[in-house]
Amino acid sequence: MEKVRHFAKKVWMFLYQFRYFFAKLGISILTLCAVVILSFVLIVNMPGTVIDSFAMQLSIQRRIPLEQAMILAKQMLNYDPDSSLFSRFVVYLQQLLHGNLGISIKNNAKSVNIILKELLPRTLFVSSISLAISFFLGTFLGSRTTWKRNSVGSKILDGYIVTSNAIPDYIFALIIITVFAFNLGWFPNQGAYDAMILPGFNLPFILSLFFYATLPIMAYVFSQLSFWSMQMQGSALGVLGEDYINAAKARGIPKRIIVRKYLKRNAMLPLVTQLAISFGVMFGGAPLMESIFNYPGIGQAFSQAIVERDYYVVQGILLFVSVIVIGVNLFADTIYSFIDPRIRRSS
Amino acid sequence: MENVGGRSKKILLGIFVKLKKFFSSLFKVFFGNKLSGMGTSILVFFILLGIIGPYIFPYSTSISMEDQLLAPSFIHPFGTDLWGRDIFRQIVAGTSDVLSIAFLAAIFSVVLALVLGMFSGIVGGFFDKFIMFVTNVFLTIPSLPVFLILAAIFTVDNAVTFAIILSIFSWAGMCRSIRAQIISLKERDFIQICKVMKMSKGHIIFKELLPNVGSYILINFIIVMKNAITGSVGLMLLGVASFEPTNWGAILTSAKNNGALINPHSYMWLFAPILCIAIFQLGVIILSKGLDDTLNPRLRVM
């Protein structure tokens, strides 16, 4: 008995260490529930004519009578307007828990899972590359300009930050697609790769992937770079006042090394959480950017589905993107306390 | 009689002095330094353009195919569009639209954030926790997809619905920081003294707490305006919000959809609204920076 109690206490102590993690996990799960309810509301508010037109489409495609097609359509979509709201919600949840995000009602009843599987890698490709470029370049510029605050470079950076805040990212995207794709013709204006090249793991294909992603990456980097350099400047300004920087200066350590090893490393810590959040922001902003560049990713599929009123695709992509964003946020919150011991002690 | 006249004169003088004080302090806030002066001038210019502009440069929707895609000239400062209509006049006609959406969105989100943030900061307890959870949800859900969905569910056809949709996602962050400020203010000495002196709750809230978050609210009001314009133009570009055809976003969208990206003759059609949006946003950013410098002097030391 004593042993059991001791063990239980130990388990409790172990779990108690992670109490903040559990609190955050709980909040994440509740947020997820809110998203699920939102997407369910979207489906419930769907006008009935949507089902009718879907059934028409089915009856033409499969050469079956309209009544049969109607029954089939309702089965395929799990759509049952006669049953109660609660039982519809239960069915909806069941489908979600089976990993079934629904099917497209406009695009040949293609499953949303397949749409996501096809398009997710492209969105991930563009957003992760541009995030990496803007993060490393931005933190570099930010720490440099904080160190030499009155130099010409920092004035230029300030000017750039204000301009890029004033011009929304999608408008910058419009400008560069006009100049580089339509006017100069250096870059393609749509698509993710050259249709003439056989997709596969070969050099020409990979090069064409990068070539087609250049303009979207440029647009993302333009808007993200100012954010990172601004954040880095703010964070580095705080670090600059710390005693260890003064001590390093007094010890005669070269400035280059102070910037690189003392200033930058310490100032970068709080930005790691931001990294995850901005990944989410990029994912959320993808509909606009991708539809301007005609880049076939999740975002473009989403905005197209909105315009076509393809309700199931909309809720499927919304759910998927929200799960990613929520998960990434949770991950960032958790990992932050491990990489920065100061936070762990104070919380 | 003389006496009465003297008294009324005195009252008038008092009102005059107070008004003068009010306006001079307002002037000091908005023209306090170079940045805020520039920002305010840009903002006032656009407001005047929105109010008086349509009377000076009336816009007619009549189509004339001879004037198709004219280059900028004295009569048409920004040239003409595909249907021969003057772009400058379109932009002037759309200014009030853009501004009213931005102002309304800023008002809605600031009021919501202020009421909920102050309430949860003052009351605390379960209510506080609940509101913090709600803000957390709004901060984590990706906003643009939900904007899109909302814009698709409610047909956006007037400034008020548009502003409501835009403000749904901009209040949460503000609400959190107002709450944090209220909580830290509550522990300060001057509030404690007010409590000891048994001053009324209304006095503490409106006379002591509110002025202290005032500068934060003013600056955020301006930032929300900027975000509302960004969001509204984005929604129009995606074609979910059909709105007044003279709105800058709508001009941009119609230019984009009618081949202005490809045709060099219609670049002015594309770049005129972009230029206006950029200048307006620039003014707003400069103003918020300038206000930050004047209202939060501790930042100046850094």
Output the pLDDT for position A133.
Answer: 92
Task: Output the average pLDDT for chain B.
Answer: 80
Contacts of A335 (CB under 8 A, 6+ apart): A272
User: Could you report the per-residue pLDDT of B274-291, keeping only the tens digit for each?
Assistant: 888 888 888 888 888 888
Q: What is the DSSP letter of B199?
A: -
Q: Residue B2: pLDDT band by 50, 70, 90 thresholds?
A: low
Partners of B264 on chain A (C-beta within 8 Å) are 183
What pLDDT sits at residue B302?
Answer: 40
Q: Which pLDDT band, with edges at 50, 70 and 90, does B253 fall under?
A: confident
Amino acid at position B201, single letter = K
Token couple for B52: 């008086």
Contacts of B111 (CB under 8 A, 6+ apart): none
Looking at residue A151, its pLDDT comes to 81
3-state secondary structure of A55: helix
pLDDT > 70: what percent of chain A?
96
pLDDT digits (tens, 9 = 90+) for B4-29: 667 788 888 888 888 888 888 777 77
pLDDT in tens, A51-102: 777 777 777 777 777 777 777 777 777 777 677 778 888 888 888 888 777 7
pTM confidence score: 0.80
DSSP-derived secondary structure letter, A1: -
- Select the residue from A160, A179, A240, A306 to test the B interface by mutation, using most B Cβ atoms within 10 A: A306
Report CB contact under 8 Å: A303, B142: no
Residue B298 above 70 pLDDT?
no
A202/B contact by beta carbon, under 8 A = no
Q: Does residue B46 surpass a pLDDT of 50?
A: yes
- Number of Cβ atoms within 10 Å of the Cβ of A21: 14
Q: What is the model's pLDDT at position A346?
A: 46
Which residues does A28 contact at the CB level (< 8 Å), separation at least 6?
A326, A327, A329, A330, B140
**Among the ranges given (A169-173, A274-278, B48-52, B120-124), the one the predictor scored with the smallest mean pLDDT:** A274-278
Q: Of A179, A94, A319, nearest to B141 (Cα)? A: A319
**pLDDT per position as a tens digit, B176-188:** 888 888 888 888 8
For residue B301, the model assigns a pLDDT of 41
Sign of the alpha-carbon torsion through A240, A244, A248, A254: negative
Residue A329 — very low, low, confident or very high, per pLDDT cuts 50/70/90? confident
> Which chain B residues contact residue A318 at CB under 8 A?
145-146, 149
With cut-offs at 50, 70 and 90, classify the pLDDT of residue B3.
low
Alpha-carbon dihedral angle through residues B143, B148, B153, B155, given to the nearest 10 degrees: 120
Q: How many CB atoms lie within 10 A of CB B279?
A: 14
pLDDT band at A347 (very low <50, low <70, confident <90, very high): very low
ipTM of the complex: 0.76
Mind listing the pLDDT tens digit for each residue in A264-320? 888 887 787 778 778 777 877 788 888 888 888 888 888 888 878 788 888 888 888
Helix or strand holding residue B173 (H, E): helix B171-186
Confidence of residue B53 (pLDDT cuts 50, 70, 90): confident
Q: Which of A291, A306, A326 sits opposite B152 (nearest CB)?
A: A306
Average pLDDT, rounded, for chain A: 81
pLDDT tens digits for B164-223? 888 887 888 888 888 888 888 888 888 888 888 888 888 888 887 888 888 888 888 888
Q: What percent of chain A has pLDDT over 90?
A: 0
Q: Which residues contact A184 (CB under 8 A, 6 or more apart)?
A: none
Question: Does the pLDDT at position A344 exceed 70?
Answer: no
- Domain boundary assignment for chain B: 30-53+76-300
Residue A288 burial class via C-beta count within 10 angstroms: exposed 0-12, middle 13-18, buried 19 and up: buried
Q: Which residues of A touch B282 (CB under 8 A)?
A: 162-163, 166
Q: Which of A162, A183, A329 sits opposite B282 (nearest CB)?
A: A162
Neighboring chain B residues of A166 at a CB cutoff of 8 Å: 278-279, 281-282, 285
Give residue B242's pLDDT band: very low, low, confident or very high (50, 70, 90): low
Task: Tally the residues of chain A.
Answer: 347
**pLDDT over 60 at B125, yes or no:** yes
Which range has highest mean pLDDT (A170-184, B80-94, B231-245, B248-262)?
Answer: A170-184
Residue A13 reports pLDDT greater than 70: yes
Q: Which of residues 292-321 of A touch B (CB under 8 A)?
A: 292, 302-303, 306-307, 309, 314, 317-318, 321
**Looking at the predicted structure, is the pLDDT value of residue B300 above 60?**
no
**Is the pLDDT assigned to residue B299 strictly greater than 50?**
no
> Which CATH number is associated with domain B30-53+76-300?
1.10.3720.10
- Bridge partners of A103, per DSSP, are A111
Distant-in-sequence, close-in-space partners of B225: CB < 8 Å, separation ≥ 6: B102, B103, B105, B106, B284
